[in-house]
Amino acid sequence: MRIALIPLICWFLVPGLLAGQQEPAAKKVQVYILAGQSNMEGYGLIRSLETLGEKNPELLAIMKDAQGKWKSRDDVTIYWASKEKKQGPLDVQWGAMTGESIGPELAFGAVLGQASEAPVLLIKTAWGGKSVWCDFRSPGAGEMSAAEKKILMRDNHLQPGQFYKQMVDEIQYALHHLDEIVPGYQGQGYEMGGLAWLQGWNDFCEWHLEMEGQRVGMELIRQYPSNLAAMFKDLRNDLGQPGLPIVVGELGIGGPEMARRARNQDDREAVAMIEFRRRQEEVARNPELAPIRLVATDDCWDSRLQELRQASDEYWQEKQKQGIQDTEENHLPTKQQNDEFLRRGGHWYCHYNGSAMSYCLIGQRMAQQLLAMQDGPAKGAGKSSNQRVTNRGDQANRPTVAALDYQKIFMQNDADQDGRVSRAEAPERMRKGVAFNLIDTNLDGFIDQQELQVLHSKIMDRRSGR
């Protein structure tokens, strides 16, 4: 259900503001596309999922049932043509390695399921090791650059545009077969909630490549904004969705540490990574692509897991010298270290080291931003629809008198005087539906004054046209 976010929330906060407004009887299926390469496929090891509680216990809680087991959501269906089982309820079985890993879809779908009264469909279309300069290249990208042509001559097995075409085909198939995919579908139709794009490693990872004296790897990074912009435009056109909201997940591999490392210009890997992130931000600031946002993910990186990964790599070299067999029990020299490493993850560096916590935080953030973009102003061009967003509190502006008025009105519902309003304390019209969850951005089951300040900022942005 596409909603005008600010008017709806104000209706809940201030009774009578939009009196008489009726919710449509037929709840159309809310469709979201999750696309990209291996990090959208998902290599967050299920064994590490409990570590999410370190950063977001509330999010972890909504992914479990009353018995403490991983929840299977009947209100959220996922379709992924690459799987042997192509569709089913959202649960922990939809990562790249069925039964072993999860991707962003788990938290992404949980947030949307909590926020929507309508059925939700996630169309997942992703393949590992795929680039935008070649594999996802769309017709609008035009002729390849000289650097791209050189690399294609080296990798002449690649077929430019193959996976863009396959992505479009898979999305269109799902949209035309909702009656076979979505349980209980009665022909009520669908609405496109948006596209979550998580990709970039294969356009970044050859940053070091030189051919005939040219740094062609860095040229791929410089070409990324134009190639990705062309793909987004073509995808919107091919799907008949010119205003499709898009969120782009930042390539957060290496975490915030990359920015510090990049101060040393001799650290070419870090310099290239920061340059790539800037190019992703350039896409999100393109006024021709509105509504679109770049979602920061570098702080979703598990730094402790990276420390263990580096120690494991060093120990591996030592094992090779000593002829010690490499096993799951000796990634690290002590049992305590080894157990912690496996508990936190243990997959490849480019897969966020296998941290399910990282994948969940990314999925949550992307879903929350798509929900926020369903507000009216995000449909057109402007600062509010093209920006980089984080979860670090940078949107909580200093309160104004009007903000304090909103707080005073709403905080009258704080029956136990603990400085926040629980769902049970909220007005009856807020207890069900999307409004409570959309204000409760950290999903802790309470609305506090900081979250009301963020709401007020959105209202002020809307009034000023920002």
Residue position matching structure tokens 């690459």: 82
Residue position matching structure tokens 């049992």: 335
- Taken in order of first residue, the domains within the chain and their CATH numbers are 27-301+355-392 (3.40.50.1110), 396-466 (1.10.238.10)
Return the closest-CA partner of residue 108 out of 446, 440, 368, 385: 368
Whether the predicted pLDDT of 16 surpasses 80: no
Query: What is the Cα–Cα distance from 79 to 71, expressed in whole angstroms?
Result: 17
The residue among 283 and 5 whose pLDDT is bigger is 283
| 3-state SS track over 384-395 | HHEEEECCCCCC
Do the Cβ atoms of 238 and 175 come closer than 8 Å?
A: no
Please tell me the predicted confidence (pLDDT) of residue 267: 98
> Which is it for strands 120-126 and 73-79: parallel, antiparallel or unpaired?
parallel
Return the closest-CA partner of residue 346 out of 311, 310, 309: 309
Averaged pLDDT score across all residues of the chain: 87
pLDDT tens per residue, range 27-71: 999 999 999 999 999 999 999 999 999 999 999 999 999 999 999
b vs e for 439-465, b when ≥16 Cβ sit within 10 Å of the residue's Cβ?
bbbebbebbbbbbbbbbbbbbebbeee
Query: What is the Cα–Cα distance from 117 to 50, expressed in whole angstroms?
Result: 28
Residue position matching structure tokens 């999305």: 171
Query: What is the Cα–Cα distance from 89 to 95, expressed in whole angstroms?
Result: 13
Residue position matching structure tokens 């390849």: 144
Query: What is the Cα–Cα distance from 80 to 24, expressed in whole angstroms?
Result: 29
pLDDT tens per residue, range 99-118: 999 999 999 999 999 999 99
Residue type at 184?
Answer: G
pLDDT tens per residue, range 288-319: 999 999 999 999 999 999 999 999 999 999 99
pTM of the model as a whole: 0.79
Do the Cβ atoms of 380 and 315 come closer than 8 Å?
A: no
pLDDT tens per residue, range 408-426: 556 777 777 777 888 777 7
The residue among 22 and 77 whose pLDDT is bigger is 77
Return all residues near 387 (Cβ < 8 A) that are at least 6 apart: 284, 285, 293, 294
Return the closest-CA partner of residue 404 out of 456, 348, 339: 456
Query: What is the Cα–Cα distance from 371 to 441, expressed in whole angstroms?
Result: 10
The DSSP output letter for 30 is E
Give the mean pLDDT of 141-158: 97
Residue position matching structure tokens 């400085």: 419
Return all residues near 384 (Cβ < 8 A) that are at least 6 apart: 377, 378, 461, 462, 466
Distances (CA, A) of 409 to 5, 7, 420, 440: 19, 16, 13, 17
